[in-house]
Amino acid sequence: MHAISVRKMSFPAAAQLLIHGLVLYNLVITREKKMRAFEQFPGPPGNWLFGHLRQDGTDFSIITKWGEQYPYAFPLQFGPTSIYLTIHHSSYLKTVLASAGDNIAYTFLTSWIGEGLLVSAGQKWFRHRRLLTPGFHYDILKPYVKLMADSANIMLDKWETYAKTEQSFELFQQVSLMTLDSIMKCAFSYNSNCQTESGTNPYIKAVFELCYLVHLRWRWFPYPSETIFHLSPHGYRYRKACKIAHSHTEEVIRKRKEALSKEKEQDILLKRRNLDFLDILLCTQDEQQQGLSDEAIRAEVDTFMFEGHDTTASGISWILYNMACYPEHQQKCREEIQEALKGKDSMEWEDLSKIPYTTMCIKESLRLYLPVPGLARKFCHGYVFDPLRFLPENTAKRPPHAFVPFSAGPRNCIGQNFAMNEIKVVVAMTLKKYVLIKDPEHTPKMVPQIILRSLNGIYIKIRFSLMDLLPSSG
Ligand code: HEM
């Protein structure tokens, strides 16, 4: 019966059937190949078509539990053919991170952040990394501390309303605006007023949307296909959000180019302000006197605008939440900060090394709430918040790759010192001014969307700290 109906088919229908057959065959072969590559690693059973994951990312705690069940590594299936090895053990991590290989998981980011440092590979990555590393030199980072403190103070002033009423409020959105303000001021010398403008910031909204959609592409089986995603309503939303994100970064580049072209000599302009990351992008040259192309500059601005604010927004939001959950650690940090700042309303480079207990709390929060959650970690005594595990004598007992929130090896985070400085500044300024209180009505649900976010927001309450009412010496 079946053979007869195929014979009666028109040519286009038969061709279509053949194509579908080939696609299915290809799927089965690719899947088999990948399954065979990982057969040494037992893992949780998954659905043939949809794999292990839920579309909305609410399975983060389940994945963490699998990490305990399969302590070295286990295969995680995102669809019929997207199968990745999730690595937990520090010795495995060491081997993987030693290579400068590209990260296939970032392919879906290319139409947004281009082939910037995060996405590029091979010689291109190597050249860019070498050209951009001076942008994170100590001399460049030093004046940023004061700018970070200024951005933090704008946010903390806005919070006075919440302190007066002790009403619960959502942190992540506010902290994102502050970190965007900060990266714009530091890396691009751009005063955006994004914290004081009314309404939601279109760039921040677009970044949330883009992270959600890229995450969905990873997780939902038909979406890895460029054509299917392009034709879908989600693909339409993605292109719209990309346009908004690009117009934001294009304006930053355009204004700087205009400013540079108005100056007879660039030196005159640079003498008037700190050398920033954008100056380095625009002026850098390799041994052959070759600078970066316009396209490459755009990609790096898109990469650093995103990586430079959303990761730190996550890190800061979760440490502030942890401080609210652990008042005893919060108080110890506050006493240390008071001693270090001696009542000053700002923070300087020299103050960063005066808050070791606060730094240990930040590291503990980064361990438990990894802002870039694609990177696995393993650590004994998992879920207890214990900053003392970062005392130098305890750190010395662990393998070096047991704690790598900024990754390690050649492709480690180029912005890690920038990030740690910013988190320290914001935590210190916040705890100096406010006492953070847990809101028992709101428990955040962690969700990995490139960056670690919370599905239902991160809520806390605050009141004025008595310390802030003491007379200021500065
Ligand atoms: C708490 C904050 C941050 C965390 C936890 C973090 C974490 C990471 C991690 C884990 C990687 C490696 C990703 C991979 O290979 O898959 C990475 C790479 C990168 N990060 Fe960060 N990051 C943070 C802040 C920043 C900041 C503030 C900037 C820029 C100002 C930045 C720029 C980058 C770039 C450009 C890369 C790619 C580096 C390369 O491949 O050469 N990051 N980051």
CA of 341 from ligand 1 middle (Å) equals: 29
Distance from the Cα of residue 184 to its chain's centroid: 16
CA angle 362, 132, 257 (to 5 degrees): 110
Determine the pLDDT at residue 94.
76
Q: Where are the domains of the chain?
A: 105-469
Ligand 1 site, residue 376, Cβ cutoff 6 A: no
Between CA 19 and CA 22 the distance in angstroms is 5
Ligand 1 site, residue 120, Cβ cutoff 6 A: no
Q: Are 211 and 310 in contact (CB under 8 A)?
A: yes
> What are the pLDDT tens digits along the chain (474 aa)?
444 455 667 777 887 788 778 777 777 787 777 777 777 888 888 777 777 766 566 677 777 777 778 877 888 777 777 777 777 777 777 777 776 566 666 789 999 999 999 999 899 999 999 999 999 999 899 999 999 999 999 999 999 999 999 899 999 999 999 999 999 999 998 888 899 887 788 999 999 999 999 988 887 878 888 899 999 999 999 999 999 999 999 999 998 888 877 765 566 555 656 778 898 898 888 788 888 898 999 999 999 999 999 999 999 999 999 999 999 999 999 999 999 998 898 999 999 999 999 999 999 999 999 998 865 444 445 679 999 999 999 999 988 888 889 998 889 999 999 999 999 999 999 999 999 999 999 999 998 888 999 999 999 999 999 755 555 544
Q: What percent helix, strand, coil does the chain show, rounded to 5?
A: 60, 5, 35
Between CA 133 and CA 121 the distance in angstroms is 16
Determine the pLDDT at residue 375.
59
* Residue 325 is assigned to a ligand binding site: no
Ligand 1 site, residue 403, Cβ cutoff 6 A: no
Determine the pLDDT at residue 235.
97
Minimum-distance ligand 1 atom for the alpha carbon of 183: 30
Amino acid (one-letter) located at 408: A
Long-range residue pairs from 67-71, CB within 8 A, at least 24 positions apart, any chain: 67/376, 67/378, 68/382, 69/44, 70/41, 70/42, 70/43, 70/44, 71/378
State the CB neighbour count (10 A cutoff) for residue 244. 15
Minimum-distance ligand 1 atom for the alpha carbon of 309: 27
Q: Are 310 and 207 in contact (CB under 8 A)?
A: yes
User: What residues contact residue 20 under an 8 Å CB cut-off, 6+ apart?
Assistant: none
- Atom 16 of ligand 1 has which residue's CA nearest to it? 103
Ligand 1 site, residue 462, Cβ cutoff 6 A: no
Indicate left, alpha or beta for 448 from its phi (over 0: left) and psi (-120 to 50: alpha).
beta
Determine the pLDDT at residue 327.
97
Determine the pLDDT at residue 7.
60
Question: Closest by alpha carbon to 111, among 265, 292, 240?
Answer: 240
Residue 118 backbone phi and psi in degrees, to 5: -70, -40
Determine the pLDDT at residue 168.
97
User: What residues contact residue 127 under an 8 Å CB cut-off, 6+ apart?
Assistant: 286
Partners of 124 in the beta sheet? none
C-alpha distances (whole Å) from 368 to each of 76, 309, 418, 429 are 21, 20, 20, 22
Determine the pLDDT at residue 4.
47
Determine the pLDDT at residue 473.
44
Q: Could you tell me which CATH class the domain 105-469 is placed in?
A: mainly alpha
- Atom 7 of ligand 1 has which residue's CA nearest to it? 406
- Atom 6 of ligand 1 has which residue's CA nearest to it? 406
CA of 465 from ligand 1 middle (Å) equals: 33
- Report the residue among 130, 413, 426 best suited for mutation to probe ligand 1: largest number of ligand atoms under 8 A from its CB: 413
| Range list of H helices, 263-293 | 266-272, 277-283
Minimum-distance ligand 1 atom for the alpha carbon of 106: 16
CA of 406 from ligand 1 middle (Å) equals: 6
Element (H, E) at 324: helix 294-325
Classify residue 426 as exposed, middle or buried by CB count within 10 Å of its CB (0-12, 13-18, 19+).
Answer: buried
Partners of 435 in the beta sheet? 463
Between CA 126 and CA 301 the distance in angstroms is 17
Between CA 81 and CA 34 the distance in angstroms is 7
State the CB neighbour count (10 A cutoff) for residue 153. 17
